[in-house]
Amino acid sequence: MPAQAPIQPVQVINVKTVSPCRQEVTDGANSFDPLQFVFISSGALAECASAATAVYGLVPDGSKTATDSPVDAIWGQLHSCISPEPDQNLFIVNISNNNQLIGSGTTTQANVTIGESYGLLLGTGTYDGYNFLNVDNTTNDFFKVENYYTLDGTDAYNGRVICSINRAIIQ
C-alpha cells in the first residue's frame, strides 16, 4: 500500500537570497488563514478560491479584525505578501483532486507531469484554508510543476511537488 505524504500548508523556497515581499494591502475584514494564496478584490486581500485565476501572493499571517489587540495584530489589518513571481520564489504544495481526496485516488506525484500546469484547490473541512494542486484541473493554470519533492515517494498519496506560479495570473 502506498504511503501517505504529510499534509501541510504551502511552504516557500527562496530562489533569490532575500524573499521579496509585495506592498502591504489591507484584508478589508475578509477572512483567510496563514500561508494561503490571496488576491486583491475591491482593494482588499481575499483568499484564492478553488480554480482561482488571479493571485497577489502568499500571506504569511492570517486575517485580523479591527478589534484584535496590538500584540496579536502588530500591523493591524495590513499584510505583506510573499511574492509569487517565479524568478523569486517557488512553493511546495500537496497534490489533491476535485474531490479533495486525502489518502487515496489519483493524488500522487505519478499523476502529475513536470512542466505541466494545474489549478488550485482550496481545502475544506479538516484542511480548511490549505492550498492544494488540483491534479484534475488542467484548465485554470495556477501552478506549474517544476519538480517532485524528493522526500515523498512517487506513489505516496497527496505527494508534494515544487511549483512556480503562472505569471499570467499574478496581479
127-149 confidence digits (pLDDT tens)? 999 999 999 999 999 999 999 99
Residue 94 in domain: yes
Q: Is residue 154 part of a domain?
A: yes
H or E element, residue 90:
strand 89-96
* Selection from 91, 93, 161 nearest residue 122 by Cα: 93
Residue 148, CA atoms < 13 Å, CB-side half-sphere = 17
Q: What pLDDT does residue 123 have?
A: 95
Q: Which class for 106: exposed (0-12), middle (13-18), buried (19 or more C-beta within 10 A)?
A: middle
| Beta pairing class for 131-134 and 117-122 | antiparallel
pTM over cut 0.85: yes
Q: What percent of the chain has pLDDT over 90?
A: 72
Residue 28 falls within a domain, yes or no?
no
Instruction: Count the domains in the chain.
Output: 1
Q: How do residues 15-41 score in pLDDT, each as one tens digit? A: 765 667 888 898 998 999 999 999 999
- 144 lies in which domain range? 86-169
Whole-angstrom Cα distance, residue 159 to residue 103? 10
78: in domain: no
Residue 56 domain flag = no
Residue 137 lies in a domain: yes
> Does residue 52 lie within any of the structural domains?
no
pLDDT digits (tens, 9 = 90+) for 58-95: 998 888 766 666 555 556 678 889 999 988 899 999 99
The Cα-based distances of 41 to 49, 65, 121, 134 in angstroms read 12, 18, 19, 23
In a domain, 151, yes or no: yes
Among 63, 41, 65, CA closest to 52: 41
